Chains A and B, each alone.
Chain A
Amino acid sequence: MRTPDTKPLRGVGGLAVDVLLVATLAALVGGVVVLAQRWNAPMRATTPIDLDPRALPGYTLLSLSRGFAAYLLSLVFTLVYGTIAAHSRRAEKVMLPLLDIGQGIPVLGFLPGLVLGMVALFPRSNVGLELACILMIFTGQVWNMVFSFYGSLRSIPADLKEVARIHRFGWMKTFGTVEVSSAAIGLVWNSMMSMAGGWFFLTVNEAFTLGDRDFRLPGVGSYMAVAIEKGDQRAMVWAIVAMATMILAVDQLLWRPLVAWSQRFRVEDLASSDKPQSWVLDLARRAPLVRRLHALRARLTERRTSRRAPAPETAAAEPGPAAAARGRGLLLVAAGVGAAVVAAWGVLRLLGLLASVSRREWLDLAAALGATFLRTAGALALAAVWTVPAGILIGRSARWSRRLQPVVQLVASFPAPMIFPIVTGVMLALRVPFAVIASVLMLLGAQWYVLFNVLAGASAVPHDLEEAAETYGMRGRERWKRLFLPAVFPYLVTGLITAAGGAWNASIVAETLAYKGRTLETFGLGSTITRATASANFPLLAAGVLTMSLALVLLNRTVWRPLYRLAESKYSLNR
């Protein structure tokens, strides 16, 4: 692969890059200003959406700024929550299961509470509604970031932590130099995934009905929602183009550079051909403006350190471990009591809601659960059927997997619900019943996780095993059965677990579809939840969300965990 040119740019080229950088910065500031104006504007629950494509860039920028606001929130939450969970054994015992539960609650489960609460908090301006929307995007982003950060913190080598203690790193320096640095690669990667995941429910997050109240925020998601409702195919295509452009731009301008930059935190050096590259980062590093800023910063730090008053002789005396532990303990107990009170109140409210759900409705829910279960199982089976051979074929070729991985990842980050109406239209024309179409719709989002993991697994098959298979005359089917399928099995399980979560969540948007002025619906848990939201039947909504969360936990315990354990113990290539 090419080695990036590191020569500083001069002349016209340098000027052009500088201008581009400044323009990008200006656009960002402009976006924030526009959003702020919207926030201060008087409350308007339903913004009329203009289906003219010329209005789309503005809508897209609004959606993007919501996504970023949600991401910033996710990042802060991740750093705080992950740090506490990794540092306190006692807190960890409560915080990890809470994360698991949170991850399992579908976004619509959060919707009524968030919207009604926020609107009640800010009854006169748009802030409440905007915040509710941002928080809903946040619930689609945050979970894997926290898991990744927490996991990284827990796997920091003990000797690095000891170095930090011996050389009296303060709290801040330990956090920066040891903890965040160790977690950086995983955090950047998962941020990218989270941002993508956050878009999934955009059409719902920006336009939804709660009983007799319609809420609609200007954005590309609501544009799509309106286009689908009206059956305006031209507008649908425009929305898809806008969304794809936005994802591509964010990927190239933000995530690729960040991924390439974060390689400095790698522990072992990669072969240069495997190093993630970013043309934007290369270009920015060569820009005269950036170089000048770098030099300025270096000068400033030097001046600051030389002027800083000497610290007291006994550098940062460590508080006695016992005293510190006592302080932490007290804080934890207080936090624990607080959390317990809130949880108890929540459970009481929930029970109150559930009490008014009739027996009939519970029975319906059970049946709906069964229907959705079959549908997700079908979707996963379909996903495995095509992604396993495809993933193995691509993954076995180093060249193809290097080329296709970013593409697959980009395609995967496109919110599948945006192409639901098109797929549905085609399949309806082929006279496929909607009950089956719903399963295919779930597949649309979920399949990528499986493909991605199988691909990674196939490219991780050690070369010597392939050579052994070759030497002992394993060919064709035999080789697949004995080598490739077992080798990718652990990856397949990981992919399926993620995909299953995605498919269950997607049932909410896949089992009900407002399409060309009519509502397509098929019996299932997702459509039940959607109907309950639309008719503001909060008891049924709570019961539906609870049923889905419990089903997910149960499936995890009874199906996925044993499978995962089998994969780790028998098919892992690590030992």
Chain B
Amino acid sequence: MAAPKPQSAPEQPIAQTIGVSKSYKDDSGHERVVLHGIDFAVRRGETVAILGPSGCGKSTLLRILIGLIEPSSGEVREHGEPLRGIHPGAAVVFQNFALFPWLTVEENVRVGLNGRPLPVEETADRVAHAIEQVGLAGAERAYPKELSGGMKQRVGIARALVGRPELLCMDEPFSALDVLTAESLRAEVYRLWSDGETGLSSILIITHLIDEAVYLGDRIVILGANPGTIQREIVNTLPHPRAYRHPEFLRMVEEIHDIVTGVHLPEEPAPAGKRPSVGPIHPLPGARTTEILGLLEIVSDHGGQMDLFELDAITEYDFGKTITVVKAAEMLAFVDTPGDLVRLTDFGREMVAVDQPEKKLLFRKRLLTLGLFAAVIRLLAAEPDVARSGDDVKAFIGERLPGCAPADLFRTLIGWGRYAQLFHYDAQADELSLHTGRDRDD
């Protein structure tokens, strides 16, 4: 680990947000809260990982920290001063590399020194040195399109480092790469930070992978979604260099797993009496019916009960996706999730056992207990001969569930409703009506 620099007076964080919130209007004009009341700071000499499912606003938080996006409310500071424009000491590595396809490797790295008043020789030296540091010497004149994904991201890292930033921000930097390349690049980023040659003081990494957060982060901040808020902060004291298979590492991963699943699948108190016939209106997790059915099959094949972690490994989804599908199955009462376990309910077992037409019936039965479906059916049944436009229904959803993206919800609603043969949806005309049995839609 980098030796912490000798400290004088209480030092101000390199970048900091105080009570920052961000909301924006989506396509249908509904206000959507992405981040809410975020107090966050990156200090000198530390590596911080922000961990959260997709859509929790973690990329937005990064962009607010370095001044690319202005917050709706709250304060952003750099070294204790209000941030004006772009953070002067930060550099960014992007998920999809963000290299200019028409510039060579060398020219792309040179972008990192744009506007710096440096003599020509020094510019050239620093560019050459940065390219060498990331192991790309010899590829200076190549264009990004000639490089593999891993090499592209090396260029992205060289571009970020060439300007000698104190804070290196990385937005899901390895998620577009294959697993092995990602692992080796992660190790290299750690090396570049720890050997002190780059002048880098701190690293901020945004990720949805627990492994990645535990590998790089000395502090791990867990974000929850809808709206994005900080749920927990964990100090990771495992010694560097960290090994993915080490028992301590695995224990840490599992601990965070529990926290994450606790955040996203809050344990419901056991229902006192019978379940109410129709529940309150909740947003639907964006899972497809095929994914839900697939999940039930997998769990059934593993004896009707599985560890969430194990399940995640089998599905090969990213973790947020696995959670979404489990959440959907739980909402439909096909599974229970005591702690880290995913367990089939009686309903779930029945669902796996019966054949297609009956699956649809069972599915329909479950849908009818969901508040959102009940509400939409009431809306459609008010005038059964008139088809409603998709926009009407989206607006209807938006009113009842502010803060959600109605378009996504609508897609899930249609997907589930079609499978259960509750709705008939004509995508061409954008018209939704109750399924009458007169016509088939598939």
Interface residues of A (CB under 8 A from B): 157, 159-160, 162-163, 165-170, 173, 177-178, 181, 184, 264-269, 302, 305-306, 310-318, 320-321, 565-566, 569-570
A541 to B343, CA, bound (A): 78
Instruction: Establish whether residues B111 and A163, one from each chain, have CB atoms under 8 Å apart when the complex forms.
Output: yes
Chain B residue with Cβ nearest A267: B101
Contacts of B111 in A (CB 8 A): 163, 167
Chain A residue with Cβ nearest B63: A162
Instruction: Establish whether residues B84 and A320, one from each chain, have CB atoms under 8 Å apart when the complex forms.
Output: yes
Contacts of B276 in A (CB 8 A): none
Indicate whether B91 reaches chain A with its CB closer than 8 angstroms: yes
Q: List 13 A-B contacts (CB under 8 A).
A: A157-B98, A162-B63, A163-B98, A165-B68, A166-B68, A264-B102, A302-B120, A305-B120, A311-B117, A315-B116, A316-B115, A318-B86, A569-B428
Instruction: Establish whether residues B96 and A159, one from each chain, have CB atoms under 8 Å apart when the complex forms.
Output: yes
Instruction: Establish whether residues A168 and B428, one from each chain, have CB atoms under 8 Å apart when the complex forms.
Output: no
Instruction: Establish whether residues B115 and A311, one from each chain, have CB atoms under 8 Å apart when the complex forms.
Output: yes
Instruction: Establish whether residues B92 and A166, one from each chain, have CB atoms under 8 Å apart when the complex forms.
Output: yes
Contacts of B115 in A (CB 8 A): 167-170, 311, 315-316
Indicate whether B191 reaches chain A with its CB closer than 8 angstroms: no
Instruction: Establish whether residues A569 and B145, one from each chain, have CB atoms under 8 Å apart when the complex forms.
Output: no
How distant is A521 from chain B, measured CB to nearest CB, in Å?
44
How distant is B113 from chain A, measured CB to nearest CB, in Å?
8
Indicate whether B317 reaches chain A with its CB closer than 8 angstroms: no
A26 to B276, CA, bound (A): 89
Contacts of A170 in B (CB 8 A): 115
Chain A residue with Cβ nearest B171: A159
How distant is B158 from chain A, measured CB to nearest CB, in Å?
13
Instruction: Establish whether residues B428 and A566, one from each chain, have CB atoms under 8 Å apart when the complex forms.
Output: yes
Among B92, B102, B119, contact of A162 (Cβ-Cβ < 8 Å): B92
Contacts of B68 in A (CB 8 A): 162, 165-166
A160 touching B120 in the complex, CB below 8 Å, given contacts A321-B70, A566-B428, A569-B428: no
Contacts of B428 in A (CB 8 A): 565-566, 569-570
Among A159, A167, A312, contact of B94 (Cβ-Cβ < 8 Å): A159
How distant is B202 from chain A, measured CB to nearest CB, in Å?
17
How distant is B392 from chain A, measured CB to nearest CB, in Å?
19
Instruction: Establish whether residues A315 and B102, one from each chain, have CB atoms under 8 Å apart when the complex forms.
Output: no
Known: A165-B68, A167-B163, A267-B145. 13 other contacts (CB 8 A): A163-B100, A168-B114, A168-B115, A169-B115, A178-B100, A266-B101, A302-B120, A305-B120, A310-B119, A311-B115, A321-B70, A565-B428, A569-B427
Chain A residue with Cβ nearest B169: A166
A165 touching B98 in the complex, CB below 8 Å, given contacts A266-B145, A268-B145, A566-B428: no
Chain A residue with Cβ nearest B156: A163
Instruction: Establish whether residues A168 and B86, one from each chain, have CB atoms under 8 Å apart when the complex forms.
Output: yes
Q: What 1/0 flags go to B99-134 for Cβ under 8 Å of A? A: 011110000000110111111100000000000000
How distant is B167 from chain A, measured CB to nearest CB, in Å?
12
Contacts of B273 in A (CB 8 A): none
Contacts of B112 in A (CB 8 A): 167
Contacts of A177 in B (CB 8 A): 100, 103
Instruction: Establish whether residues A313 and B98, one from each chain, have CB atoms under 8 Å apart when the complex forms.
Output: no
Chain B contact residue count (CB 8 A cutoff) = 34
Indicate whether B346 reaches chain A with its CB closer than 8 angstroms: no
Among A169, A264, A312, contact of B117 (Cβ-Cβ < 8 Å): A312
A209 to B23, CA, bound (A): 61
Indicate whether B66 reaches chain A with its CB closer than 8 angstroms: yes
A506 to B226, CA, bound (A): 56
A315 touching B66 in the complex, CB below 8 Å, given contacts A181-B100, A265-B101, A570-B428: no
A314 to B143, CA, bound (A): 31
Interface residues of B (CB under 8 A from A): 63, 66, 68, 70, 84-86, 88, 90-92, 94-96, 98, 100-103, 111-112, 114-120, 143, 145-146, 163, 427-428
A314 to B102, CA, bound (A): 28
A157 to B91, CA, bound (A): 18
Contacts of A570 in B (CB 8 A): 428
Among A166, A268, A306, A314, contact of B119 (Cβ-Cβ < 8 Å): A306
How distant is B62 from chain A, measured CB to nearest CB, in Å?
10
Instruction: Establish whether residues B86 and A159, one from each chain, have CB atoms under 8 Å apart when the complex forms.
Output: no
The 8 closest A-B pairs by CB, nearest first: A310-B117, A315-B115, A159-B98, A318-B85, A269-B145, A167-B114, A311-B117, A306-B120
A570 to B429, CA, bound (A): 12
How distant is B123 from chain A, measured CB to nearest CB, in Å?
8
Contacts of B103 in A (CB 8 A): 177
How distant is A239 from chain B, measured CB to nearest CB, in Å?
41
A293 to B101, CA, bound (A): 25
A315 to B146, CA, bound (A): 32
How distant is A306 from chain B, measured CB to nearest CB, in Å?
5
How distant is A424 from chain B, measured CB to nearest CB, in Å?
43
A268 to B147, CA, bound (A): 10
A309 to B102, CA, bound (A): 28
Instruction: Establish whether residues A162 and B120, one from each chain, have CB atoms under 8 Å apart when the complex forms.
Output: no
In the complex, which of the residues A159, A311, A318 has the most CB atoms of chain B within 10 Å of its own CB atom? Answer: A159
A500 to B321, CA, bound (A): 47
A388 to B291, CA, bound (A): 41
Chain B residue with Cβ nearest A270: B145
A215 to B111, CA, bound (A): 55
Among A165, A178, A181, A320, contact of B86 (Cβ-Cβ < 8 Å): A165
A265 to B102, CA, bound (A): 5
In the complex, which of the residues A177, A268, A312 has the most CB atoms of chain B within 10 Å of its own CB atom? Answer: A177
Among A181, A312, A316, contact of B102 (Cβ-Cβ < 8 Å): A181
Chain A residue with Cβ nearest B113: A167
A168 to B428, CA, bound (A): 45
Contacts of B143 in A (CB 8 A): 264
Instruction: Establish whether residues A173 and B114, one from each chain, have CB atoms under 8 Å apart when the complex forms.
Output: yes
A178 to B117, CA, bound (A): 22
In the complex, which of the residues B90, B94, B119, B427 has the most CB atoms of chain A within 10 Å of its own CB atom? Answer: B94
How distant is B265 from chain A, measured CB to nearest CB, in Å?
31
Chain B residue with Cβ nearest A160: B98
Contacts of A318 in B (CB 8 A): 84-86
Contacts of B114 in A (CB 8 A): 167-169, 173, 315
Chain A residue with Cβ nearest B88: A314
A264 to B111, CA, bound (A): 18
Contacts of B100 in A (CB 8 A): 160, 163, 177-178, 181
Instruction: Establish whether residues A317 and B101, one from each chain, have CB atoms under 8 Å apart when the complex forms.
Output: no
How distant is A292 from chain B, measured CB to nearest CB, in Å?
21
Chain A residue with Cβ nearest B66: A166
Contacts of B95 in A (CB 8 A): 159
Instruction: Establish whether residues A162 and B98, one from each chain, have CB atoms under 8 Å apart when the complex forms.
Output: yes
A177 to B99, CA, bound (A): 11
A310 to B92, CA, bound (A): 25
How distant is A319 from chain B, measured CB to nearest CB, in Å?
8
Chain B residue with Cβ nearest A307: B120
How distant is A272 from chain B, measured CB to nearest CB, in Å?
12
Chain A residue with Cβ nearest B84: A320
Chain A residue with Cβ nearest B92: A166
Chain A residue with Cβ nearest B111: A167
Instruction: Establish whether residues B427 and A269, one from each chain, have CB atoms under 8 Å apart when the complex forms.
Output: no
How distant is B148 from chain A, measured CB to nearest CB, in Å?
12
A167 to B116, CA, bound (A): 9
How distant is A322 from chain B, measured CB to nearest CB, in Å?
9
How distant is B14 from chain A, measured CB to nearest CB, in Å?
15
Chain A residue with Cβ nearest B112: A167
In the complex, which of the residues B95, B114, B427 has the most CB atoms of chain A within 10 Å of its own CB atom? Answer: B114
Instruction: Establish whether residues A162 and B94, one from each chain, have CB atoms under 8 Å apart when the complex forms.
Output: yes
A165 to B102, CA, bound (A): 18
A15 to B137, CA, bound (A): 38
Contacts of B94 in A (CB 8 A): 159, 162-163
How distant is B118 from chain A, measured CB to nearest CB, in Å?
8
Instruction: Establish whether residues A166 and B91, one from each chain, have CB atoms under 8 Å apart when the complex forms.
Output: yes
